[in-house]
């Protein structure tokens, strides 16, 4: 499975602005936002990319999920939620969180499930995805 990592200061600005505009929608979520200015140190993102790839590649070998896509775009950010997704194959991953494998797997399952049960509300989807993640990670 191939992971393509994407990160930029422009994306970080877009991410922060999105959460400012949609704060009512995310009032029950833990949202990480900059205290003052947006901080972007490309070396920090490159370092986390390497760590995340190594951890992901090691752990995904233990799990055989043939229905997952062969390639994903991973947008690294410091802001917003722990993870989110965009169809067809993009995962937005907060590099601040430590258990990135579980977040990536969670969002991969969202992408897979969205095409099948997109009509459920977000809390129902989260319940299904969390249950699937727990089941898969216990194997």
Q: Mind listing the pLDDT tens digit for each residue in 109-122? A: 999 988 787 678 88
Q: In angstroms, what is the C-alpha Rg of the chain?
A: 15
Beta bridge partners of residue 21, listed in sequence order: none
Whether 1 has a pLDDT exceeding 80, the answer reads yes
Q: How many domains does the chain have?
A: 1
For residue 114, the surrounding DSSP H or E stretch is helix 100-117
* Contact partners, residue 54, CB within 8 Å, separation at least 6: none
Q: Give the pLDDT confidence of 7-45 residue by residue, as tens digits.
A: 999 999 999 999 999 999 998 889 999 999 999 999 999
The domain of 87 spans: 2-138
Q: Residue 93: which pLDDT band, with cuts at 50, 70 and 90?
A: very high
Q: How confident is the model at residue 139 (pLDDT cuts 50, 70, 90)?
A: low
Distance CA 126, CA 79 (A): 20
The separation between CA 134 and the C-alpha centre of its own chain, rounded to angstroms, equals 17
**The predicted structure's pLDDT at residue 118:** 67
The model's pTM: 0.91
What is the reported pLDDT for 22? Answer: 95
What is the Cα–Cα distance from 106 to 53, expressed in whole angstroms?
16
| pLDDT at 5 (0 to 100) | 98
Tell me the residue ranges of DSSP E strands in the chain. 2-6, 71-77, 83-86, 90-94
For residue 123, report the phi and psi dihedrals to the nearest 5 degrees.
-70, -35
């Amino acid at each position: 499975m191939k992971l393509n990592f994407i990160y930029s200061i422009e994306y970080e600005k877009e991410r922060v602005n999105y959460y400012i505009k949609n704060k009512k929608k995310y009032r029950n979520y833990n949202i990480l936002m900059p205290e003052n200015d947006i901080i972007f140190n490309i070396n920090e993102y490159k370092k986390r990319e390497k760590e995340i790839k190594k951890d992901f590649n090691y752990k995904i070998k233990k799990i055989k999920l043939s229905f997952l896509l062969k390639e994903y775009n991973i947008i690294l950010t410091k802001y917003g939620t722990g993870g989110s997704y965009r169809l067809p194959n993009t995962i937005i991953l907060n590099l601040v969180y430590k258990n990135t494998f579980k977040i990536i797997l969670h969002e991969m399952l969202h992408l897979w499930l969205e095409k099948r049960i997109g009509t459920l509300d977000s809390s129902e989807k989260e319940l299904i995805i969390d249950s699937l993640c727990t089941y898969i990670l216990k194997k």
